[in-house]
A and B are shown apart, each in its own frame.
Chain A
């Protein structure tokens, strides 16, 4: 009995102490809001996948001794996104700085009241650091509110397996390969040659759906939505063209039919199941090198993308309106999207800078990748975004692509249903989801 009682008392004391401590924190927090000096501020940074910020954060903390940054890596975008929506709606739980992918960014621009206006904190001076389209994407239509600063851009290239090319009797030199695939028609033609050689078991491309994003991004100003956010995927001829081209390749046996982002896809890299894959900058070290493993080091190389240039993916950092420390959060976001932050992220995760000075910096420009046979990644990706036209994605782009169109296209690729039936189904579902 006495033991129990003593324990109860301990619990009570502990509970009381916690309560006092919590109350104390709450007080000190509100003090911070009042702009008190000397107190240390803790910022929470939430990102998905791999932003490559480990070193950049250390540098930031060294330069700002009063700020401590807790970096929460939230897994894949699809895991992080629903949580963020809930936290924003609930008014608590979101980090002080959060990563937003361009595919979901517009959804937040539409509901911009959940975010701090970065222009209020002096972000206007940073405008010239970024390509115009990257800046404008995070701006409200009236141009008065900016919710995000650009992190990386997804400059596009074509990654290919040198060793498989050689076995099939194709050129292996990256200049030569780039010349042979200047258009997508050339690219498919080379794939036919690759297969016709009969000397390799591997397919030409990982999946029919891989071709879709780069092709549409290069050839259309809009994707599934027009600029009024109305669904036009069913009438956008470029989308249909890419769909048909991809599935045509699948029908000719040129694709490995691996479902992107599945365990089979991962294994397909290791098992050398395909010879080419369109690769945005963030995919090189972070995805391809990781999945192919050390055994395949030096077998990959990088050529330019057919159709010349293009962008795929890329993210932003935003500050939820619920933050208690908007000023410090802005400092952090500003640092991470500065030249230094961009270059650190590039070094760590291969994320390509969207900062113009960063793209021109030798640290990026002269960068060569050992894993990819010493390919000058900096130059290839840098060139690919030079002539970039902005593409309007629409608020629900990611949802329509990842949960509706891509799975249907994969089903058609695996021969579960005809291309026509899959297209019809995808468009019906997309219309329903966006109405």
Chain B
């Protein structure tokens, strides 16, 4: 393709016997240079427009209606859906759960990933095997992971409660206790994503020049000190990236808690672990199929993700910078 772009102007520059074709091919060549780049990136934007932007905007439109799918009711209600939503205690309960599970999973996950990456960044035998090994949980199907963990954390016949029982600890009500359920779900998320983040960190760490570490060792800096004052500050952009990605992913958490509750969209007897995405699904796709209400909720979730992503961005940037001094 690139050769074609390169050759056309040369053809155009060749001395032609007649003027008209020469001009035409000259014009074609100019169009090629001016417009081709847009043409090449167009597929992404067209696809994004059709499957990304349009649904997003249409969701805004739908959120202004009392829109029930099954009966076909569609009535303009303005911002009524949003007003009801702000008073909906189940919505705020779901938001509380989502934020709780997010914090409980992401903080240990990223710290563990950092440490893991640092370990993998050393000289060792079968390095590639270990590096690839840490992402295996990530390529496992979420649903399968969810089912297995739901069994491990089952209330009565689960592995964890059985293990606790052998050392004389009373079984934990993994689904009735809100914080126990958060912990179990966060555990599931971390199991899947720690290795993935570790690999991203590892990639960034390998770009750090080795001589920095050499001179630090000469100055007598401990491995721990080197980690905090060289490695972490230098991979800061990568850390920011993972924080943002984790925020987006964490706020949309759906399959893990759903599987954890044996497929019940309610997320526990009293919605102990119903996340926002689950509540959106419950309203939008079960019962009356309230598309309008579900759309309004989706938009509020979108806003929350942006706000939290920005807060996290600021927090991490500041704290990592502080280490540098």
Could you list which residues of chain A lie within 8 angstroms of chain B, going by C-beta atoms?
1, 76, 78-79, 81-82, 85-86, 88-89, 107, 110-111, 258-259, 261-264, 267-268, 271, 273, 396, 399, 403, 407-408, 410-411, 414, 416-417, 425, 433
Contacts and interface: CB of A to CB of B under 8 A. Distances in A.
A267 B157 contact: yes
B206 interface: no
A271 B269 contact: no
B260 to A, nearest CB: 10
Closest 10 CB pairs of A and B: A411-B269, A82-B285, A267-B157, A262-B262, A89-B69, A264-B156, A407-B269, A399-B287, A263-B154, A85-B289
A259 B264 CA distance: 11
Contacts of B154: 262-264, 267
Given A263-B154, A396-B287, A89 B72 contact: yes
Interface string B173-185: 1011000000000
30 contacts: A1-B3, A82-B286, A85-B289, A86-B289, A89-B70, A107-B70, A111-B72, A259-B262, A262-B154, A262-B262, A263-B150, A263-B154, A264-B154, A267-B156, A268-B156, A268-B157, A273-B156, A399-B286, A403-B264, A403-B266, A407-B264, A407-B266, A407-B269, A407-B270, A408-B269, A410-B269, A414-B269, A416-B176, A416-B270, A433-B287
Contacts of A86: 69, 285, 289
Given A258-B156, A271-B157, A263 B173 contact: no
A264 B264 CA distance: 14
A234 B289 CA distance: 24
Interface of B: 3, 69-72, 150-151, 154-158, 173, 175-176, 262-266, 268-270, 282, 285-289
Contacts of B266: 403, 407
A261 B262 contact: yes
B287 A111 contact: no
Nearest to A404: B266
Contacts of B151: 263
Given A79-B263, A264-B155, A89 B269 contact: no
A414 B264 contact: no
Contacts of B155: 259, 264
Contacts of A273: 156
Contacts of A110: 71
A417 B176 CA distance: 11
A103 B71 CA distance: 17
Contacts of A261: 262
A258 B72 CA distance: 39
A365 to B, nearest CB: 37
A396 B68 CA distance: 14
Contacts of A271: 157
A411 B157 contact: no
Contacts of B286: 78, 81-82, 399, 403
Max chain A C-beta neighbours (<10 A), residue from B70, B150, B285, B289? B70
B157 to A, nearest CB: 4
Contacts of B173: 414
A257 B309 CA distance: 42
Contacts of A111: 70-72
Contacts of A259: 155, 175, 262
A85 B263 contact: no
Nearest to B262: A262
A76 B263 contact: yes
Given A82-B285, A396-B287, A414 B176 contact: yes
B324 to A, nearest CB: 48
A414 to B, nearest CB: 6
Contacts of A396: 287-288
Contacts of A399: 286-287
Contacts of B289: 82, 85-86, 89
Contacts of B265: 78, 403
A425 B282 CA distance: 18
A262 B260 CA distance: 10
